[in-house]
Amino acid sequence: MNTLPLQKKVQIINMLVEGSSLRSISRVCDVSINTVTKLLVDVGRACWEFHDATVTGIKAERVQCDEIWSFVYSKEKNKPEGIENAGDVWTWTAIDADTKLILSWNVGNRDADSANVFMQDIADRITNYVQLTTDGHNAYLQAVGEAFGDNIDFAQLVKLYGSEKEATGADKKYSPSKFRGSKKTVISGSPDEQHISTSFVERQNLTMRMHMRRFTRLTNAFSKKIENHCYAIALHFVYYNFVKVHKTLRVTPAMEAKLAKKPMTLEDIAKLIPEPIIGKRGPYKKRVKSVTA
């Protein structure tokens, strides 16, 4: 059974977390694109399990949530009939505003069901009273209430933009509308108005687009399968939480949150992949030739 050397795995993972496409990794590392894809699946699944087991019992004071758009196979308007798990995909993210730790993420639709799953997962990972800020998406209202009840300070921040008619030419297509202001709405509890903000989680959205090639806009680097999309996200967040040193904190978010004593390395991430089970080959049976009369 052929297995990749550890250093080759580290090289491929390093390029994955820095935003390289699968085919460019295949060319640079001189391996098959199927090898790159298989490693992404293996390390992504291992990172998913690692995050789920490690990021627990968090004492966070201020949490910010947001959703980021992407698509799988094709955009929703071009989605072929009969193709499942394709079209628009939303990644819900929650960040601790103090430690910059990504507490939870969920990949799904931008609907109430995804919001409920997402909020319940956040509630299961946090052990103390928290202030939560989201955007004005209505799905958060019921989801937060069911996950936290009244045991939370919850506010929504709605950003106001100008009309699209104000932009002309290329600006109308590629540039956002002019920012006009924001509106803060207290939903429950007594949140500190000074900390009603989604700035950190929106900055994290940019980090996702810069570090994951399949999130880059106006390219053909989109995900072709929803499973690989999820595995790439899991790898990114474990790298972000446990490996990458935050410039402001000067430590990793996991260290700031007291989940780790030192930064992990890419070798540590590669070693999260379970060793393949190599069974003993049995004796081959000799083929018996049929005899005809």
Give 8-30 pLDDT, tens digit per residue: 999 999 999 999 999 999 999 99
Q: What angle do CA 271, 49, 10 make, to 5 degrees?
A: 25
pTM for this structure? 0.88
In a domain, 238, yes or no: yes
CATH code, domain with 57:
3.30.420.10
**Number of folded domains in the chain?**
1
- The domain in which residue 10 lies consists of 6-271
pLDDT in tens, 103-124: 999 999 999 999 999 999 999 9
* Tens place of pLDDT per residue across the chain (293 aa): 468 999 999 999 999 999 999 999 999 999 999 999 999 999 999 999 999 999 999 999 999 999 999 999 998 888 888 888 889 999 999 999 999 999 999 999 999 999 999 999 999 999 999 999 999 999 999 999 999 998 999 999 988 777 666 555 655 666 667 777 778 999 999 999 999 999 999 999 999 999 998 888 877 788 889 999 999 999 999 999 999 999 999 999 999 999 999 999 999 999 999 987 665 555 555 555 444 43
The reply to whether 280 falls in a domain is: no
**Pick from 72, 92, 87: nearest CA to 227:** 72
Among the listed residues 180, 147, 149, the one whose alpha carbon sits nearest the alpha carbon of residue 166:
180
Structural domain contains residue 283: no
Residue 277 belongs to a domain: no
Considering the domain boundaries, does residue 259 fall inside one? yes
Q: Mind listing the pLDDT tens digit for each residue in 224-247?
A: 899 999 999 999 999 999 999 999
In Å, how far are 58, 106, 134, 157, 179 from 199, measured between CA atoms? Answer: 21, 19, 10, 10, 14
Strand partners of residue 285: none
Residue 290 located in a structural domain: no
Contact criterion met (CB below 8 Å) for 146 and 118: no
